[in-house]
Structure 1
Amino acid sequence: MPRSQAATIRESLSAQIDSGLLPLGSKLPSERELSELFSTTRITIKDALLALEAEGRIYREDRRGWFVSPPRLIYNPQYRSHFHDMVTRQQRQVETRVLSASTVLATPALSQELSLGPLAQLLQIRRTRSIDGRVVMYVEHHLKPEFFPGILQQDLSQSLTLIYQQRYDIRYGRSRFDIFPSAARGEVAQALTLAEGSPILLVFRINYDQHGRIIDCDHEYWRHDAIRITVDSHVAAGE
């Protein structure tokens, strides 16, 4: 069957990216400019751009337009060191910004996941992670307060893994992961400067310490174009 005009435009833009004529991180022309360039409607242009976004080739920022996606971060959920170390080992720049840190009432879902009783409290830390100056992840950490007294007064822009080790003599043991696609809504979309409903990848992790106790959990909301998840089962089996 003949290709649609949107598919032809997608292939043309993809070829421009592959050749470097549209460099990684560069801003695309506006949808109006693209519709004039390809002599088509903005609806057709939008279809082509959405297809490229779904592939992770481009991304959009609310009120700023479309950009060519930078190289993906190789993300190994089983990585034993802290996040900053994983990023810098790939010769990327990482920055963490703290949005809030407070004590909250555990939701029924968190109470079940963390084996809590009724009306239990948790320490909630909300942060964003930037790689090479672009916000790529919004994360909500929920900590059991009995393990981490006074942690909300620490510099939470630093690695929580290191704070756990250095201040509380707590180290991560095993973790359980759930990874699935989702859509950016509300504060997640705002933190990632995404339009409502944009595709994201949700990584939910429950963490145990070296003694097998559940100590915290993380909800990581990633720009889906920003990471490539890699797991080596051979390495995991040998640990």
Structure 2
Amino acid sequence: MESIAPKTADVIASALLARIKAGEFSGGRLPAERALSEAFSTTRITLREALGKLEAQGVIYRELRRGWFIAPPRLIYNPLYHSHFHAMAAEQGRHASTEVIAAQKVSAQGAIAAALMLEEGETVFCIRRLRRIDGRAVLYVEHYLNPHFFPGLLSEDLTRSLTDLYDQRYGIRYGGARFTILPGPLPDVAAPALNVAAGSPGLLITRINRNQQKQVIDCDCEYWRYDALCVEVEA
């Protein structure tokens, strides 16, 4: 009987990519790893190496305890464009949703106090939200607000756009922002909400916003799945 040479991870990745492009996997979900390893007559180790190659290319993504999925197009994010999350998604033909995890008063410490130009220990509003695109959790964000500018804000509907809320309730519009974008591991607080293991690669975008009078009003700490976002700037 003729022996069959073990398939390498590169060969398996190429074969899976061809099948994905052919639209073979309906529903956007790949078969379980066990089924795939049997189909390719390979070990789980080799299969996972192949899947990792496709994940690195942004072709597929993994969710804890759920398996592998075909990745949708990345959301295009232009930091220079002052559009809110829901509008940005709608303009790209995507559906956005927001879940409020917590909204409370906290004491400003360290980098947050410095970003908001406050003394350590001063009270700020902290709003933690999980944001989804087409039902997929892609962004965990912590908003820190100077309460001087937003009295009563914690009693508002915080699933809506804060950009619109600032404008409609308080007459405040963005007059400038400072962005810091860094790749790195997702922290324990963000990873479970995004259905990935702690330490998985992510993208941290820190944004310090000013109002029309150039006063610092809030600071956003955004933790994105790295495979969900494309930062694109046209000056």
The residue matched to 2:157 in structure 1 has which SS?
coil
Answer yes or no: is 1:92 the counterpart of 2:94.
Answer: yes
> Offset at 1:217?
0.8
Please give the per-residue CA displacement for 1:42-78, whole angstroms capped at 9, x wherever unaligned: 1111111122222221111111111110121111112
Partner of 2:110: 108
1:18 aligned onto 2:24: no
Task: Give the superposition deviation at 1:80.
Answer: 2.0
What TM-score do you get using the length of structure 1 for normalisation?
Answer: 0.91
Give, in angstroms, the shift of residue 196 of structure 1: 2.5
Residue 139 of structure 2 aligns with an amino acid whose one-letter code is: M
What residue in structure 1 maps to residue 199 of structure 2? 197
Q: Aligned AA for 1:19?
A: A
Structure 2 match to 1:30: 32
Deviation at 1:226, TM superposition (A): 1.4
CA distance in 1, matches of 2:32, 2:187: 24
What secondary structure, in the 3-state scheme, does the structure 1 residue paired with 2:58 have? coil
Deviation per CA, 1:190-210, whole angstroms, max 9, x where unpaired? Answer: 111112222221111111111
Correspondence for 1:236: none
Match for residue 152 of structure 2? 150
TM-score (norm 2): 0.92
How does 1:228-239 map onto structure 2 within 5 Å? 228-233=230-235
Residue 45 of structure 2: aligned partner:
43
**Any idea what SS the aligned residue of 1:167 has?**
helix
Separation of aligned partners in 2, 1:207 and 1:223: 23
| Distance in 2 separating the partners of 1:107 and 1:46 | 41
Counterpart residue type for residue 130 of structure 1 = R
Matched to 2:14, the amino acid is E
Percent identity over paired residues: 53
Q: How much has 1:14 moved relative to structure 2? A: 1.8
Of 217, 224, 235, the residue aligned with 1:215 is: 217
Aligned residue for 1:172, secondary structure, equals: coil
Aligned partners of 1:48 and 1:182: how far apart in 2?
23
- Match for 2:105: what amino acid? T
- Tell me the SS of whatever aligns to 1:188: coil
Structure 1 residue 118: Cα displacement: 2.6
Query: In 2, distance between residues paired with 1:175 and 1:185?
Result: 24
- Give the letter aligned to residue 151 of structure 2: P
Distance 1:52 1:130 in 2: 22
Asked if 2 retains the 8 angstrom alpha-carbon contact of 1:56 and 1:224, the reply is no
Structure 1 unaligned regions, length at least 5? 234-239
* Alignment RMSD (CA, Å): 1.5
**Residue correspondence of structure 1 range 65-144 to structure 2 within 5 A:** 65-144=67-146
TM-superposed CA distance for 1:115, in Å, is 1.8
Question: Residue 181 of structure 1 aligns with which residue?
Answer: 183
Contact 1:74 1:230 in 2 (8 A): yes
Post-superposition shift, 1:6?
A: 1.2
Matches of 1:129 and 1:211, distance apart in 2? 29
Corresponding residue number in structure 1 for 2:228: 226
Paired with 1:22 and 1:159, the residues of 2 have a C-alpha distance of 35
1:211 partner amino acid: Q
Deviations 1:166-190, CA, capped at 9 Å, x for gaps:
1111100111111121222322111
Cα distance in 2 for residues equivalent to 1:79 and 1:59: 28
Q: Which residue of 1 is the match for residue 3 of structure 2?
A: none
Alpha-carbon distance in structure 2 between the residues aligned to 1:185 and 1:174: 28
What SS class does the counterpart of residue 48 from structure 2 fall into? helix
**2:19 maps to 1:5:** no
**Separation in 2 of the partners of 1:91 and 1:118?**
42
Do the aligned residues in 1 keep the contact of 2:107 with 2:120 (CA within 8 Å)? no
